[in-house]
Each structure stands twice: as C-alpha cells, then as structure tokens.
Amino acid sequence: MSRRSSYATAATGVEVGEEGVRSPAGEVHAWVPGTNSTVCGLQLSRSQLARLSHVPFVEALPESGGSADFVASVCPRCRAAVLGRSSGRSWERVSPRP
C-alpha cells in the first residue's frame, strides 16, 4: 500500500449525495484509520470531525474532482504531510550578498 492511499478523510461536515453516499464537506483533514487524531494533530473527538474512512484523502482534494464537490478548504498541514512539498522552494533570493 502506498503512503498516499493509506490516509482517509476527516471533515467538519458531511453531505449525502444523490446515490446516498456520504461525502466530505467544509474543511477536510488527513486521518489514519484506527487513530483518534488527524495528521496535523487535531483530536477527532474534540474537534467534532466526521470520520469518512471510505474516502481516501487524495480524492477529497478539490483538484482531484473525486469526492470534493462540497469541500470548502483543505488543511495545509495535512496536505503538506501527505503530498510533500510542491515544486521546490516557494521563495527565491533576488540579490544575495556577496
């Protein structure tokens, strides 16, 4: 099993689709089934996050188009932990000292 597919989704809300399948809504977080905390460290029980073990985290990303119809935002810390850094540095040194 690859690292990316082992994470499920936890969300602040749940929407029931036309087929009767629960989909994540609101803010989504990455979660390892069997634990009580998200990848970024939030406690599921205290944060009142819904566990969606049937939805892989990568399918809850808006750019995936999978189960992300009702997703408003993705936790940046969870995204970075699961997907890693995007393309190198996010900043560039313009005029470094000699």
Q: Which residues contact 41 (CB under 8 A, 6 or more apart)?
A: 77
Answer yes or no: are the C-beta atoms of 85 and 76 closer than 8 Å: no
Where is 47: in which H helix or E strand?
Answer: helix 44-47
- The predicted model scores a pTM of 0.78
What pLDDT does residue 1 have? 44
What pLDDT does residue 89 have? 63
Q: State the Cα–Cα distance between residues 29 and 75, nearest whole angstrom.
A: 6
What pLDDT does residue 30 have? 95
Per-residue pLDDT of the chain (98 residues; tens, 9 = 90+): 445 568 999 999 999 988 888 999 999 999 999 999 999 999 998 999 999 999 999 888 888 777 778 899 999 999 999 988 655 566 777 887 77
What pLDDT does residue 18 have? 83
Answer yes or no: are the C-beta atoms of 49 and 42 closer than 8 Å: yes
Q: State the Cα–Cα distance between residues 57 and 6, nearest whole angstrom.
A: 8
What pLDDT does residue 37 have? 93
